[in-house]
Structure 1
């Protein structure tokens, strides 16, 4: 788990949702640096609590696909590249995209309600923390049957949460909000009765 040794074409074939999300984020970041249209697109899509308050509700969604700079993009897409495929394989394409989007949106909603009106933010990290939360739910259900999974997941999530509070310019509200929402959705996805219904 979390070891990626697939060739590029194999990776894209096996994990179409993760691949699409990575490509979409990269393409939007490339558009961002195009003079003229790039800055306009970025300004229209960033998460701005003040603009949301004025009715621009799309800003609860669009920040998931925008990043401040290349390193910001690289870190988030690397996390998605490493941790996304195993979850997409476990729960399927539609459940994965639902988890990703809902975690990201609710992370932004939490940011809107808990951060100042002047707060501005971008990034997919709330959605990525939703992936971590779903894995925590899987650990919750398998803690007695697959203890090795707990030994892998808990340190990863623990380190990620610690870094959230140690780093600068990090939307801590989005990270924790995404983690909680991902965990709640994961509890539904990985419930033993739900798993049995998948197999029917």
Structure 2
């Protein structure tokens, strides 16, 4: 029987660089015991450098949008205007977890700070935000890592909506606050890194940020406080977590990201339960 040779090299589970099997520490990113079962566990490792996490975010948003239409189908907007085509009713969005001063401070629905990030007011609203995720998400994954990216995304959504609620926004929904958090983290990265590459990132993303605020002031109903708050929380999170060139993803980052995933799953399950109960009552 032919003996199987032991692998002499493998990919580091953190930075994906080829290293020797005998290494006790990755020479590229400093990960301790890169060959251990713990570091190679898929739940701790995350989704590496691929876009799986982005696909999950998009799929979740689409699923929640479909549910929001089905819950109150008779009041769903079928307007010929592209801005309002396939618009869930306000009642449906409130049941699933829209946020703002009324849901938070009057109804004590603090969980809506997270659920509202996965709800949208129209098909066009959903499409624009999902396209934006695929534009900005890969940059954050590359420069911060998957775990830090999702932490920034989650905290920015919660923080942005909380700030907008403090400043009096009665009802609000959408992934925009979380997306603006990714933009804020990218702005911090570009400014902090500097050089030709960093300045290019800063200038390009800065143009996006300016466009978002101009659009928000020109079009009624846009939650500018949520956008600005999300951007602020994202920049602060980027500073505290550190991008890859300064701070590689550690086990604490991966566990924090896993906690964000679990917490999001629990909140969305609660939102789904509310929707189902409304349908059967």
Q: Same fold by TM-score, threshold 0.5 exceeded?
A: yes
Task: Say if 1:152 and 1:31 are closer, same or farther in 2 by CA, change over 3 A.
Answer: same
Q: Distance in 2 between matches of 1:165 and 1:42?
A: 24
Highest Rg: 1 or 2?
A: 2
Partner of 1:23: 59
Q: Taking CA–CA contacts closer than 8 Å with sequence separation of 6 or more, which of the two structures ends up with the larger relative contact order? A: 1
Partner of 1:169: 221
Partner of 2:270: none
Aligned with residue 130 of structure 2, among 61, 64, 77: 77
> What are the ranges of 5 or more consecutive residues in structure 1 without an aligned counterpart?
1-12
> What are the ranges of 5 or more consecutive residues in structure 2 without an aligned counterpart?
1-48, 74-87, 251-281
Q: Distance in 2 between matches of 1:183 and 1:150?
A: 12
RMSD of aligned residue pairs (Cα, Å)? 2.3
Aligned with residue 58 of structure 1, among 111, 116, 128: 111
Aligned residue for 1:195, secondary structure, equals coil
Superposed displacement of residue 196, structure 1: 4.1
Task: Say if 1:85 and 1:36 are closer, same or farther in 2 by CA, change over 3 A.
Answer: same
Q: Distance in 2 between matches of 1:195 and 1:139?
A: 12
Superposed displacement of residue 68, structure 1: 0.6
Q: Distance in 1 between matches of 2:57 and 2:119?
A: 11
Q: Distance in 2 between matches of 1:36 and 1:145?
A: 51
Tell whether the 8 Å contact from 2:103 to 2:171 is kept in structure 1 after alignment: no
TM-score w.r.t. length of structure 1: 0.82
Q: Distance in 2 between matches of 1:34 and 1:75?
A: 21
Aligned with residue 33 of structure 1, among 62, 66, 69: 69
Correspondence 1:151-166 to 2 at 5 A: 151-166=203-218
Superposed displacement of residue 189, structure 1: 3.2
Superposed displacement of residue 130, structure 1: 0.3
Superposed displacement of residue 197, structure 1: 4.1
Q: Distance in 2 between matches of 1:199 and 1:131?
A: 17
Q: Distance in 1 between matches of 2:139 and 2:120?
A: 24
Task: Say if 1:137 and 1:165 are closer, same or farther in 2 by CA, change over 3 A.
Answer: same
More helix by share: 1
Tell whether the 8 Å contact from 1:47 to 1:59 is kept in structure 2 after alignment: yes
Superposed displacement of residue 184, structure 1: 0.9
